[in-house]
Amino acid sequence: MTTTTTREQFASAVAMAISSVQHLYREVDRLLTGLRDSLAEEPHPLAPIRGTLQKSGRDQTRLVVRNEYGALFAPVINDEEDAEEEDEDLEEDGDEGEDDDRPRGGRKRAPAEIAADQPLLAVRVALYDPQRHDSFEPQVQFAVMSEWALGKAAATPEQRFILARYMLRRIPKALAASATLAKGSRLVTRATVKRVVGAKKGDERRLACRLPAGVEAVPLFSLDSAEGLDRLAATMKNMWQQTVKNG
């Protein structure tokens, strides 16, 4: 039997689909904003590193639909410039050349720098996995990353890694492979560095880190209240504090 769809039914289905997507990503934006605000509270406030807190976009006529969102957090630093730009809607990977640090408008962005002994909190909000779309459950993953190095090389505390700022967004994405990683494992990301201060130039350019506390995941479905979001932020801070304390 052939089902005939009328013009009115088609128009209604399109409007419903777009409305549903807009609602979903408004909720994701609320989640990310709420998590940012909770992590910024005392004690031990953490703030997103400029340019890493992704959102679906302010323009509702050009909604950016992503399979995942990510951010990197570090201890709060009183920097007005960073605060103004931390939610900047940077281009996605593949839209920029590797040496292009310019956001829309032509203003050049300063490169990012990560010290080898600098811990960072990585957060990944995974909404959809095209490889297992039927069995995948949307979730929030988080981990403290430390002991930065290139590839499988050993970490050297005095080294500093210079990379294009948009490359920072590739770091939380590496948590997608965390299911097979135990506490203390090393993780190689897809973020590539421009240069390393304190090391000789080599062929390996991929930034890697250690996960001293492993990776934790919370189902997105369980975060149905402000209290649930506060508990998640508290768990993240506890992981952060334990990792920094055990240094």
Instruction: Note down pLDDT in tens along the chain; length 247 residues.
Output: 456 889 999 999 999 998 888 888 888 888 999 999 999 999 889 999 988 887 766 666 676 778 899 999 999 876 544 443 444 444 444 444 444 444 455 566 789 999 999 999 999 999 988 887 778 899 999 999 999 999 988 888 899 999 999 999 999 999 998 666 789 999 999 999 999 998 777 778 999 999 999 999 999 999 888 899 999 999 999 999 999 888 7
Structure tokens at 1: 């039997």
Q: Supply the pLDDT for residue 98.
A: 40
**Cβ proximity of 205 and 150 under 8 Å:** yes
Tally the domains of the chain: 1
The H or E element containing residue 170 is helix 170-173
> Tell me, what DSSP letter sits at residue 168?
G
In a domain, residue 1? The reply is no
- Could you give the C-alpha distances from 150 to 71, 100, 121, in angstroms and in order? 21, 22, 19
In a domain, residue 2? The reply is no
Rounded to whole angstroms, the Cα distance separating 232 from 99 reads 36
For 172, counting Cβ atoms within 10 Å of its Cβ (0-12 exposed, 13-18 middle, 19+ buried), the class is buried
Q: Position of tokens 């953490």?
A: 46
In a domain, residue 110? The reply is yes
Phi and psi at residue 113, in whole multiples of 5°? -135, 130
In a domain, residue 50? The reply is yes
In a domain, residue 202? The reply is yes
- 243: three-class secondary structure by DSSP: helix
Alpha carbon 19 to its chain's center: 25
Q: Supply the pLDDT for residue 208.
A: 96
Rg (CA), the chain: 20
In a domain, residue 168? The reply is yes
> What residue numbers bound the domain in which 97 lies?
7-246
